[in-house]
Amino acid sequence: MVETISIFEVGPRDGLQNIKNEIPVNKKIELINILSTTGIGKIECGSFVSAKWVPQMRGTNEIFEEIIRVDGVKYTALTPNLKGFENALHAKVDEVAVFAAASETFSQKNVNCSIDESLARFRDLFKKAREKKVPVRGYVSCIVECPYEGKISPESVLKVASQLLDMGCYEVSLGDTIGKGTPKTIEELLKVLCSEINQKKLAGHFHDTSDTAIRNVEIGLKYGLSTFDSAVGGLGGCPYAPGAKGNLNTRSLIEAFGINSFNEDLDLDKIRPKSFNNKFEELSKFPSSRRDISMILDDYVKFEDIKTIAYNLESRILKDVNLFDEYKGKNIGDKKKSFAVSFTFNDSKK
């Protein structure tokens, strides 16, 4: 069993790529600057992908220009091809991630080519990354289930993960893209992967659709994985994966294993609602009170998004959104258009 865990914060990328409305770049920068002070060592700040494909990631270049970089924190981004990598180099990204899938259909939908073609596209990227000494991380999506093809075999995941490592990834993050993994299926997968791959080269990226992400992390730890991806506020999903819900919430991850279980010197107070006052979005008090999740949200995060976030966090149908008592009777406009809400859920879990 692993003793210390490392967090790979993916909220500004995986979290914000799935919000329907485009979030202004300055708000993303605020979010990243706050995350930079929490002690988390790696923050995925955006993607150098085509804005036609993922408009929410437009502005990643400006983000890297303007964030306040804290010593010791690595600022990373997704790059699907050489063009993305060159843009990332220009933006002085500390490390990049390439992404492939274990499902052919998902690969077509997400990057417009087959799995093999997607890997072939990375060759030039790896060559340049080696020249420039930029570390490359890899993702494999659909490690358990694909939104289009259903179940995916561990052998298909092994094939892609091994190829990514052979090409030069220092680590492969295993993406349970639609959050259908359970401790049983993750264990079946890790048994196969860890018989062929050094477990130190694997990380877990568990979306939390089925409320199993924490238990999946436990299985990961049992198999010797020590890095887990999580997202501030439990945000997340993939525009090309219908049904992809939020990522494992960073705060839940910390609370589940205790702050001393982490490599980083984390400041949990910084991941608390007050530090986000009037900021882009709020971390939840979750899971201390699972029925009363509070968030501070700017008003360009529309009600539909609030519902999605609430659903992501709880897999529950939202019954109502209530203003916090302290905000009642006040003109919300005075609060720089921010408003505070708490959520009430229908009793039954969906």
- Partner touching 276 among Mg ion, ligand HMG, none, CB below 5 to 8 Å by kind: none
- DSSP reduced 3-state for 235: coil
Give the integer Cα–Cα distance in Å for 149 and 126: 29
**Active-site residues: which are they?**
238
Q: How far is the CB of 84 from ligand HMG (least distance, A)?
A: 3
Near ligand HMG by CB under 6 A: residue from 5, 7, 14, 318: 14
Near ligand HMG by CB under 6 A: residue from 56, 60, 76, 81: 81
Q: Measured from the CB atom, is 119 or 203 closer to Mg ion?
A: 203
Is residue 123 near ligand HMG by the rule CB under 6 A? no
Give the integer Cα–Cα distance in Å for 193 and 204: 12
What's the full length of the chain, in residues? 350
Near ligand HMG by CB under 6 A: residue from 110, 156, 212, 284: 110
Q: Which residue in 63, 57, 51, 138 sits closest to 102, CA to CA?
A: 138
Is residue 111 near ligand HMG by the rule CB under 6 A? yes
Near ligand HMG by CB under 6 A: residue from 28, 137, 205, 251: 205
User: Between vectors from CA 231 to CA 269 and to CA 61, what angle results, nearest 5°?
Assistant: 105
Is residue 141 near ligand HMG by the rule CB under 6 A? yes
Near ligand HMG by CB under 6 A: residue from 47, 156, 185, 284: 47
Q: How far is the CB of 85 from Mg ion (least distance, A)?
A: 20
Is residue 227 near ligand HMG by the rule CB under 6 A? no
Question: What does the binding site for Mg ion look like in residue numbers (CB under 5 A)?
Answer: 14
Is residue 50 near ligand HMG by the rule CB under 6 A? yes
- DSSP reduced 3-state for 302: coil
Is residue 84 near ligand HMG by the rule CB under 6 A? yes
Give the integer Cα–Cα distance in Å for 85 and 96: 8
Q: Measured from the CB atom, is 14 or 95 closer to Mg ion?
A: 14
DSSP single-letter state for residue 292: -
Q: Measured from the CB atom, is 97 or 221 closer to Mg ion?
A: 97
Q: How far is the CB of 267 from ligand HMG (least distance, A)?
A: 26
Q: Measured from the CB atom, is 192 or 321 closer to ligand HMG?
A: 192
Give the integer Cα–Cα distance in Å for 159 and 181: 19
Instruction: Please work out the total of residues on this chain that contact ligand HMG, with binding judged by CB under 6 A.
Output: 26
Site string for ligand HMG, 323-342 (x = CB under 6 A): --------------------
Q: How far is the CB of 337 from ligand HMG (least distance, A)?
A: 29
DSSP code string of 83-152: HHHHHHHHTT-SEEEEEEES-HHHHHHHHSS-HHHHHHHHHHHHHHHHHHT--EEEEEE-SSEETTTEE-
Near ligand HMG by CB under 6 A: residue from 126, 223, 240, 276: 240
User: CB of 267 within 8 A of CB of 36?
Assistant: no
Give the integer Cα–Cα distance in Å for 255 and 217: 13
- Burial class from Cβ neighbours inside 10 Å (0-12, 13-18, 19+) for residue 64 reads buried
Q: Alpha helices, DSSP H only, in the chain?
A: 25-36, 60-66, 82-90, 104-111, 115-132, 154-167, 183-196, 213-222, 250-257, 303-314
Tokens of 47: 């993607």
Q: How far is the CB of 230 from ligand HMG (least distance, A)?
A: 12
- The site for ligand HMG (CB under 6 A) is made up of 14, 17, 47-50, 52-54, 78, 80-81, 83-84, 99, 110-112, 139, 141, 175, 177, 205, 207, 238, 240
